[in-house]
Amino acid sequence: MRGRDRPEDFAVTVVVPCLNEADNVDAVYQEIVEELSGYAGLEVLFVDDGSTDATLDRFRTLAERDPAVSYLSFTRNYGLEAAFSAGYRYARHPWLLHLDADLQFPPAEAHKLIAKAMEGYDAVFGIRVDRQDRLLRRLASGLHEVISRRLLRIDIPSGGTSFRLVRTELARRVVDLRLGTPYFMAALPRLTRNWTTTPTAHRARRGGEPKVTVRGLARHAVELFMSYSVRPITFAGVLALFTSLCALIGAILAVLSHPSAAVLTGIALSGGLLSLAVIARYLVHIARGHPGTPQFLIQEANIPVRDEDRLYAAAPLTGQVSIMEHAS
């Protein structure tokens, strides 16, 4: 474990992924500055995940007014994982704080994460107290945790959220793994045990439309289950053996014209298809781990970025050089 950091030397980059959050950008910036400008260093790094509203315009305006504001804008919508991965890669300060643009986690709560980190931890995850989400969302989260932690034995922080404070060097190590499914809370415990959690306040979304859907949550859960546990494919193998036995018995009973033959044949067919579906999902995960479509591409930024993260490496971004110096 590292020695304890000194609060007076603490410098942090606040990474704020955004998708059509034009109505919230100014409020997020204002709260961050009011709460965290007293530390030794502060950078507010906005990441535009292909917004179609005035989100990027708000970034430009803030950046012109405040040199502490940085931004990256993607060529299209790549998803939340890509947005925070880009922010983590290009954060300038030794610590980074992930803060969602909906302000459900008040920036004032960051002091709790920072105080815990100063005890010597490399990562601190916020745990929602008195969660201000709809009942269906809370129930879905509870079911998600039971399946992932208890049934599949995936090592993730119990109750952990995207509101987290992490050493930038460690966060970059996670991003640079270039996993097919960059589920940060499951990937980080594979690199270190030096993390913890702490209770934080939670509030209702301030404005704009929620970006998380039931379909998105389900997809995200399946990706976690299949990418970070071998139990589903082990179950699929056992099920395949069981259904093969059912098919064999069903075939014998069919020859004998026994009425149970149809039932056993149906069980065999259903189980076999389920096993095939699970195995196919694992193949998708393996395919994602091979070089192919980049995790994200940047079309505009007010900080230097790597050529590999640009759509056209020879074309200048907004007044930028082509090679990133502080994150190379």
Residue 27 CA, chain-centre distance (Å), reads 23
> Which of 55-59, 62-66, 116-120, 257-261 has the weakest average pLDDT?
257-261
Q: Domain spans of the chain?
A: 9-139+154-211+297-309, 231-288
Tell me: the pLDDT tens digits for 106-130? 999 999 999 999 999 999 999 888 7
Say what percent of the chain tops pLDDT 90: 43
CATH code 3.90.550.10 for 9-139+154-211+297-309: yes
Q: List the one residue out of 37, 49, 55, 48 whose CA is nearest residue 207.
A: 55
Q: List the one residue out of 73, 86, 148 whose CA is nearest residue 299.
A: 73
Q: What is the pTM of this model?
A: 0.76
Distance from C-alpha of 232 to C-alpha of 230, rounded to nearest angstrom: 6
